[in-house]
Amino acid sequence: MWPSFSTGPNMLKEYDPVKLVALLKPARHFDGTEGVARAPRIGDTGTIVAISAQGDAETYVVESVDSDGHTLWLADFQREELDQADETIRNNYYVPAKPGITLYLFGAILGAVVAYLVATTWLGLSPLWVALLFGALAALIGVFMLENIGEAIVVTIILCVLMVMVITVVPGFAMLKSGFVPLACGLSVGKLVVGIWKEVFC
């Protein structure tokens, strides 16, 4: 990695999200993933992956990736061609967007409620605070594990199948049920919450 040489309030540094606002040299060399690579265009966003000094000027190596993590282009730019971009459009390939405290709280509360309802409806567990606590904690873990909506649905289906098996196939082992079922509920809720959030906002 090259060190960052920029200073001042408008400095750009490695891993900063940037927007391409000018093309001083339209026909420039660029690299990219075979089959998806294309030339940089004004309005594209990317991430600074390296900065090098050439005399008194700096050259910024910027990479733009698509939603699947494939490189659209990797090219060198001058400072005049770039503008600092909003954090929300930072390439997920390098610095994934992170959920805020509101999403964590929403996931925890929803996970606790779902675990409570399942515990009372299917199992009649007691004490019910165990289901609330396990559901909330598992939902927090689910939100922390950033999944896309497709992965979240698959994991939720697997957890639901396992949960039904534990409830119906295993007649005894109340401790196993009272622990696993709320955890499965909360984890499913957390993953679905963050999966939907990523689908909508990322």
Task: Cis check for the bond before 17: say yes or no (omega within 30 of 0).
Answer: no
Q: Are 10 and 16 in contact (CB under 8 A)?
A: no
SS3 160: helix
pTM of the complete model: 0.47
Question: Taking Cα atoms as reference points, which of 95, 101, 86 lies closest to residue 144?
Answer: 101
Report the alpha-carbon distance of residue 185 to residue 189 in Å, rounded: 6
Q: Over the stretch 160-175, which tens digit does the pLDDT of each residue have? A: 787 777 666 665 555 5
Position 158 scores a pLDDT of 82
pLDDT tens per residue, range 37-73: 999 998 898 999 999 877 677 899 999 988 778 899 9
Dump the DSSP string for 79-114.
Answer: GGGEEEPPGGGS-TTTS-----HHHHHHHHHHHHHH
